[in-house]
């Protein structure tokens, strides 16, 4: 099954490493199709193994050597780690591994279909214990539900941490997850055979801290309801107004709006020769996007099109449609003689 969408600009052939010298196309969740056809990306249908937050990549390389017949996917938010590990993979000719620049939360919701992962590993996740940072913590209900839904029946989930409070919190969360069974007789173990020692693990052991290892397995309980996120068509609005671009720019005030868990900020405006460009930040529960909407003067006098600019590889999510509606409504409301000629946006319930 191959579900490509127009806005996703991945060339699967270019992305597959075909020779020792070929460099793979850099991958991130904003540019990959949603969901990804992993068999096309890696050149063959194989078991899928995931590592979240691979850091310097010791464990990822170990997984790659342990599983030459699987496809290994690594997720990282640090570009430095990504570049470092891409180089390591090249040097070691590990062509069945791909690393992706993405928050794990976005990848789990957007890039993977339900019931497709054979294994997932999380090694020494950042704890984010402060209340204001809590939303960044990997082990939390929404992210774990997404992970459980993406695991195959009998798929494995492994977690390691060197922070006792994190281990206690994770043990409670995992024990309260009906879709997972503990493979150990205890909530965690303090050693686990066959593991390669990661950078953080080495540091913890050198500093005399205990490590806590978890091993869970997906059972046959129904997966939590985590949707596969589909994109909407590209939004655009055409209208006629007696106002000039300069007059619209002069009237602009930053717009902030929130509905549910979605936050929209329209903070800056730029005036070009025949266009206005609006700087848009949309934070949705599974993805943050910083994109631009442009208001372009059409051939006919007084007519304008509001549309997504290609800056920042925008993905037309519901939040992006809501931002387009918000901005269009503001522009239309600027003058009583404004007439809407075409509106191709999804109406999003924002009350
Ligand atoms: C404490 S380090 C552990 C690195 C490595 N796993 C190890 O054991 O040495 C946590 C890693 O997770 C990455 N990370 C943090 N939040 C992430 C997220 N939401 N998605 C993907 N990676 C994340 C960080 O960039 C960092 O490399």
Instruction: Please write the tens of the pLDDT for every residue from 277-316.
Output: 999 999 999 999 999 999 999 999 999 999 999 888 899 9
Helix axes 79-91, 58-66, angle to 10 degrees: 40
Task: Count the Cβ atoms, other than its own, within 10 Å of residue 61.
Answer: 20
Cα 8 to ligand 1 centroid, rounded to whole Å: 26
pLDDT at res. 313:
86
pLDDT at 64 over 60: yes
Instruction: Please write the tens of the pLDDT for every residue from 115-174.
Output: 999 999 999 999 887 777 777 889 999 999 999 999 999 999 999 999 999 999 999 999
Is there an atom of ligand 1 within 6 Å of 73 CB? no
pLDDT at 4 over 50: no
- Find, among 117, 118, 103, the residue nearest to 53 by Cα: 103
The confidence band for 7, taking pLDDT boundaries of 50, 70 and 90, is very low
pLDDT at res. 130:
74
Cα 61 to ligand 1 centroid, rounded to whole Å: 15
Across the chain, mean pLDDT equals 91
pLDDT at res. 222:
94
- Domains of the chain, each with CATH number or no CATH: 12-218 (3.40.50.150), 236-344 (3.30.1300)
Instruction: Please write the tens of the pLDDT for every residue from 159-183.
Output: 999 999 999 999 999 999 999 999 9
Contact present, 292 and 311 (Cβ < 8 Å): yes
pLDDT at 216 over 70: yes
Is there an atom of ligand 1 within 6 Å of 126 CB? yes
Is there an atom of ligand 1 within 6 Å of 57 CB? no
**Mutation choice for ligand 1 from 83, 125, 133, 159, CB with most ligand atoms inside 8 A:** 125
Return the DSSP state at 260.
Answer: T
Contact present, 284 and 261 (Cβ < 8 Å): yes
The confidence band for 349, taking pLDDT boundaries of 50, 70 and 90, is confident
Note the Cα 157 to chain centre separation in Å.
Answer: 19
pLDDT at 325 over 70: yes
pLDDT at res. 296:
97
pLDDT at 248 over 80: yes
Nearest ligand 1 atom, CA 122: 6
Instruction: Please write the tens of the pLDDT for every residue from 82-117.
Output: 999 999 999 999 999 999 999 999 999 999 999 999
pLDDT at res. 74:
98
Contact present, 9 and 31 (Cβ < 8 Å): yes
pLDDT at res. 181:
98
Cα 139 to ligand 1 centroid, rounded to whole Å: 12
pLDDT at res. 2:
35
pLDDT at res. 24:
60
Task: Record the tokens describing residue 138, joined without a space.
Answer: 């990997």
Instruction: Give the predicted TM-score (pTM) of the model.
Output: 0.89
Strands (E), 105-146: 117-123
pLDDT at res. 1:
34
pLDDT at 317 over 90: yes
Alpha carbon distance 64, 99 (integer Å): 12
């Amino acid at each position: 099954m191959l579900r490509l969408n127009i806005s996703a600009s991945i060339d699967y052939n270019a992305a597959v490493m075909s020779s020792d010298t070929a460099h793979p196309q850099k991958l991130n969740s904003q540019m990959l199709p949603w969901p990804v056809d992993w068999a096309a990306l890696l050149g063959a249908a194989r078991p899928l193994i995931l590592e979240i937050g691979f850091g310097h990549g010791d464990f990822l390389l170990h997984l790659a050597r342990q599983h030459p017949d699987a496809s290994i996917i690594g997720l990282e938010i640090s570009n430095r780690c990504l570049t470092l590990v891409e180089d390591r993979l090249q040097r070691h000719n590990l062509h069945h591994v791909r690393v992706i620049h993405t928050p794990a939360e976005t990848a789990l919701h957007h890039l993977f279909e339900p019931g497709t992962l054979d294994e997932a590993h999380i090694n020494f996740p950042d704890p984010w214990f402060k209340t204001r940072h809590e939303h960044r913590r990997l082990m939390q209900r929404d992210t774990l539900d997404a992970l459980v839904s993406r695991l195959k029946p009998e798929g494995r989930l492994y977690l390691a941490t060197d922070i006792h409070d994190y281990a206690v919190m994770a043990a409670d969360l995992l024990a309260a997850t009906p879709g997972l069974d503990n493979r150990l007789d205890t909530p965690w173990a303090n050693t686990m055979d066959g593991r390669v020692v990661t950078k953080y693990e080495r540091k913890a052991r050198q500093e005399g801290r205990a490590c806590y290892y978890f091993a869970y397995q997906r059972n046959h309980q129904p997966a939590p309801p985590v949707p596969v996120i589909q994109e909407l068509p590209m939004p655009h609005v055409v209208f006629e107004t007696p106002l000039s671009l300069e007059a619209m720019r002069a009237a602009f005030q930053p717009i902030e709006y929130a509905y549910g868990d979605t936050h929209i900020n329209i903070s800056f405006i730029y005036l070009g020769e025949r266009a206005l460009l609006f700087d848009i930040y949309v934070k949705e529960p599974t993805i943050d996007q910083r994109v631009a909407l442009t208001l372009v003067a059409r051939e006919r006098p007084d007519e304008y099109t509001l549309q997504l600019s290609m800056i920042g590889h925008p993905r037309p999510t519901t939040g992006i449609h809501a931002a387009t509606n918000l901005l269009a409504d503001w522009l239309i409301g600027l003058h009583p003689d404004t007439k809407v000629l075409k509106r191709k946006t999804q109406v999003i319930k924002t009350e």
